[in-house]
Amino acid sequence: MPHTIDPALADEYRRKGYICLPGLLSAREVEVLNAGTERVIGLEGPQVMRERNGLPHVIYGMHLLDERLATLARHPRLVGICEQLLGQPVYVHQSRVNAKQTGGAIVNWHQDFGTYHRVDGVPRPDGIMIAVFLNDVNDFNAPLMAVPGSHVEGVVSEASTETEAEDRDRASKYRYDITTQRMTQLIDRYGLEHITGPAGSVVFMNMQVVHGSTVNITPLKRVILYLNVCTIDNRGTSFQRPEYLAARDFRPLEAAADNCLTALAD
């Protein structure tokens, strides 16, 4: 049975542009996902973006690379909430493993939809960025930061791909970073929050929310799995980027059984 949230949480999502649900996934489910993630992080290929020291930073197309991560995309707790918030079935536009290595690259302020619209030809922001915490995310290990309510601004025009970004030739190649002047205006208007929670927490974020993260200077692990889903009538049209960056499969996600991840445990 697909999972849903109560109306107060749905209202919070519409107001702030995101919600965080601690403990949505169990410790056993996180173990299964960690096993899948460890396998994917060890792969070679163009979908693996690395830090300057060679350690993996972002691995794109994770749901195409491992059965456990593909199953996560069909988890009824994720599918049900997305369908409730968007009012339609959804497909995966992009997925990725984000491993915040100690001393690794920052992620500058951006909107995911900024790239999906400008580069992939996704017409509308009818989608959700799902973030699954595989580790405890606290105030110190580079938590996701967001500007609450910024989704109402639409696509921020004061943004561009930064040729001087630290990871320009890797993970940030297609990211449209928002200017400092515009960020000052947005934060003055809406404020700024950081999103923390224990392993197994799941964030649901409107793809127009402005967000980013700083460097992880701690030895604490911080791995987040991202699934960006769109409604099935909101498809990319340009096909400029490879499938691990922008979907070719627009079939709706069908919710699996509630034990779909634990059934894959070794």
Q: Report the alpha-carbon angle 133-39-242, nearest 5.
A: 85
Tell me what pLDDT residue 168 has: 45
User: Checking DSSP bridges between strand 56-60 and strand 202-206, what pairing results, if any?
Assistant: unpaired
Amino acid occupying residue 10:
A
Tell me what pLDDT residue 171 has: 55
**Cα–Cα distance, 115 to 228 (Å, whole number):** 12
Indicate if the pLDDT at residue 33 is higher than 90: yes
Whole-angstrom distance between the N-terminal and C-terminal Cα of the chain?
Answer: 25
Segment 225-249 mean pLDDT: 97
Contacts of 256 (CB under 8 A, 6+ apart): 71, 74, 75, 76
Strand partners, 94: 228
Contacts of 27 (CB under 8 A, 6+ apart): 199, 200
Tell me what pLDDT residue 159 has: 85
pLDDT digits over 201-220, tens only?
A: 999 999 999 999 999 999 99
Tell me what pLDDT residue 69 has: 98
Contacts of 204 (CB under 8 A, 6+ apart): 13, 18, 19, 21, 81, 82, 85, 128, 129, 130
Tell me what pLDDT residue 166 has: 53
pTM: 0.95
Rounded percentage of the chain residues whose pLDDT exceeds 70: 95
pLDDT digits over 125-153, tens only?
A: 999 999 999 999 999 999 999 999 999 99
Sorted by where each begins, the domain ranges of the chain are 7-231
Work out the mean pLDDT of the chain and round it to a whole number. 94
Tell me what pLDDT residue 2 has: 65
**Cα–Cα distance, 179 to 210 (Å, whole number):** 12
**What fold, for 7-231?**
Jelly Rolls (2.60.120)
Q: Could you give the residue ranges of the DSSP H alpha helices within 20-137? A: 27-41, 67-72, 76-86, 112-118
Residue 172: band (very low, low, confident or very high) from pLDDT cuts 50, 70, 90: low
Write the DSSP symbol of residue 197: B
pLDDT digits over 63-121, tens only?
A: 999 999 999 999 999 999 999 999 999 999 999 999 999 998 889 999 999 999 999 99
Indicate if the pLDDT at residue 266 is higher than 90: no
